[in-house]
Structure 1
């Protein structure tokens, strides 16, 4: 039986994300990213293409590792400046009915009570279409911006995030019983206080004593996404995530990670098939392979190597400006993105020049350049051999990337029976997983239900 592919759009609220410098391309519209109309048009486009969700990455702080300065990031528009994705979602939800929105929130710096209420509000405003990409934040500049003396140790951030999740589940799932909400005009009872309880948590990282102020939303717990690639990150994802974002330019790098996390989930008592994996993909498509290649070369002429190295230095926690162009990047213990460092140093021997040439348009994503048929062939190969469930399609040019993908690739996927022709009903979780509106019975959130 043909396996249906799931699709999300991958972006960030800034001039250029992954394809650094492309905001300068004559056809690109990203200079309008501070406009509400830009995001409304984007959402309408994605819903027309039957995308499950728009995944908005985010980072606290700015890349300032390269040359020990934030200058390169701002000069090239690479991940900086940026806007808060949570504020943008309601505008997009108002002009769509089915498109989901997965926004990034930091378990390292958010305040549990405020974050729980904000996400519940967004789930109400979207009628159950909100998802949360859980991150622990790896930028040192973000730690300093949030009043910390230094970036916390990598695995310790995940330890704290586990406790953060316990508090979230307590507020979202445990504070209100299922029948606590009455809204009964005849009796003048809005909610039964006997069915509402106080969360009293006193742990090493969080102390809270509170009732959930917001009434339960359609999903209660938003659909949970995560992208940790390190061993500790994979364990966290296998414990909490329902959707897992996974990156790697080659199938043989991604497939073992998928297998590992499904095994970890099974060992934790979860159904391993309930985890939905989305591989990052950069797609450049045209009617002929020659036209697609010409489009790729055109894009490359507008890329910013400085912007890419600024982002990569921040992600690795290593100032790449100290390396000669053709000297291999060496492994250094840092508290930044462990998985990316492993790929470049221990699973390969990358030089700065090689990284610049291969990652300047697509980052660590799968890059496919070709006709609609060639693109679909490659996506199908990854679904079959890497066991991924779908893809996060990254923006290169706004909104040309998605217009081309929707106009050429989506019809080919549908022709082969590999993509839906209409949305399923229900919440984001129901659409993506095919299960109910709330977390599965084997998910840790369910243990907090009253």
Structure 2
């Protein structure tokens, strides 16, 4: 039986994300991104479209590799400035019932205790609709902003994150036993201390001694996502991720990544089919292919090459201002985002002219342009050929492009039996996997009480 397509909104709390410069389009509403109603209306719209998840990307620091400064990013609102996603998604959850939310959170700059407390609080307030996109932070400017002397080496960041994850798992899963929370007014016992343990954690990078500061939330551990595409990132995903975000220019490239993560998960003793995979797309849809192409052309007039290259330089760790337009971008090993670096160097020898022509409106995503029928065809082809479970739909013009997708493409997918017509009840994990607690073969499950 064909898999049902799952959909996530892909967003970040800044003026331009993926489609850089489009905040200046006359119909774009992103200039209001500092206003609460902008986000509340966004959440209502996504729930109207029966989206599974509103995924908020995030980054510490600003893209400052291009020309050695952040001017290009700031001038174009290119992933800068950037709001705190934890505040945004908590607010959005108050006007929705079924839409789930994933916030990006770094495992590099915070204590496991304070992070675990915030996540548990959010999962309670959202009635179990929270996910966490685990990142290790790739910008040197972010490391400096967080008080470090420089960016830690790429693979070392994953080693540090492994330890961080064990710390939060022990707090979420191992401190409060099932049944410890009593709320017994007659006996005047809120919690049974005999069923609550202190976590004494001693690691190389983190050490703490604490009882989990918040009683277990509906999911205990939020649904765990990860987006690293490097070899070390894949091993990290195989250990920790319940969902993986992947990018690739062709279905076969994404399918190869999916296969590698599944194989690594199986080697870790996990069920390789228990991980969901999503790839990023930017959709330009209209009544006909001609109108969709005209829409794309209209949007492209507002795209910012400087904004795009500022973001790409930061992600790849390469100052692309030094490259002539027609010279292939060369792989240069560094400690930045290896997924972006390999996508534009090792997978294909991209030039800046090609980037400008093909990626001005979709960044690291793939662009789907056409009628609702054509977009649905392409989505289904990618689902079947890439062995993925769904898509991250990026903002282009807020909120016009999401409205168009919901009004045109969603009914077409429903007509073909590939998209739900109603939400399933439950927590985020129950909606995705059919159960509330994390799998017993997951590392976090080994600490469950």
- TM-score norm. by structure 1 comes to 0.99
**Aligned counterpart, 1:91:** 91
CA contact (8 A) 1:249 1:367 kept: no
SS at match of 1:8: strand
* 4+ aligned runs moved over 3 Å, structure 1: none
Give how far 1:338 is off.
1.3
Whether 1:436 and 2:435 are equivalent positions in the alignment is yes
Distance 2:413 2:26 in 1: 30
Distance 2:329 2:251 in 1: 23
CA offsets 1:272-327 (integer angstroms, 9 cap, x no match): 11100011011110110000000000111000000000000000111111111111
**Aligned counterpart, 1:102:** 102
Distance 2:110 2:298 in 1: 41
CA offsets 1:208-231 (integer angstroms, 9 cap, x no match): 111101011000000000001000
CA offsets 1:188-221 (integer angstroms, 9 cap, x no match): 0000011110111111110111110101100000
CA offsets 1:113-139 (integer angstroms, 9 cap, x no match): 111010000000100001000000000
SS at match of 1:177: coil
Whether 1:334 and 2:337 are equivalent positions in the alignment is no
Measured on the aligned residues, the alpha-carbon RMSD in Å equals 0.8
Where do 1:91-170 residues align within 5 Å? 91-170=91-170
**Aligned counterpart, 1:263:** 263
Give how far 1:249 is off.
2.1
CA contact (8 A) 1:53 1:102 kept: yes
Whether 1:246 and 2:246 are equivalent positions in the alignment is yes
SS at match of 1:345: coil
SS at match of 1:147: coil
SS at match of 1:430: helix
Distance 2:90 2:82 in 1: 18
CA contact (8 A) 1:382 1:388 kept: yes
Give how far 1:171 is off.
0.4
Distance 1:84 1:204 in 2: 28
Give how far 1:345 is off.
1.8
Distance 1:432 1:448 in 2: 22
Distance 1:207 1:357 in 2: 49
Whether 1:224 and 2:224 are equivalent positions in the alignment is yes
Distance 1:93 1:339 in 2: 31
- Segments of 5+ residues of structure 2 without an aligned counterpart are none
**Aligned counterpart, 1:448:** 447
**Aligned counterpart, 1:344:** 344
- TM-score norm. by structure 2 comes to 0.99
> Residues 358 and 111 (structure 1 numbering): CA distance in 2 closer, same or farther, change over 3 Å?
same
CA contact (8 A) 1:430 1:437 kept: yes
SS at match of 1:46: helix
**Aligned counterpart, 1:275:** 275
CA offsets 1:231-261 (integer angstroms, 9 cap, x no match): 0001101110001111112212211001111
Where do 1:395-434 residues align within 5 Å? 395-433=395-433
CA offsets 1:313-362 (integer angstroms, 9 cap, x no match): 00011111111111111121110011221222222211122122221111
Distance 2:151 2:359 in 1: 26
Distance 1:305 1:275 in 2: 36
Distance 1:338 1:14 in 2: 23
Task: Out of 345-354 and 104-113, give the one that drifted further.
Answer: 345-354
Give how far 1:90 is off.
2.3
SS at match of 1:280: strand
Give how far 1:2 is off.
2.5
Give how far 1:385 is off.
0.8
CA contact (8 A) 1:13 1:83 kept: yes
- The number of equivalent residue pairs is 449
Task: Out of 346-355 and 106-115, give the one that drifted further.
Answer: 346-355
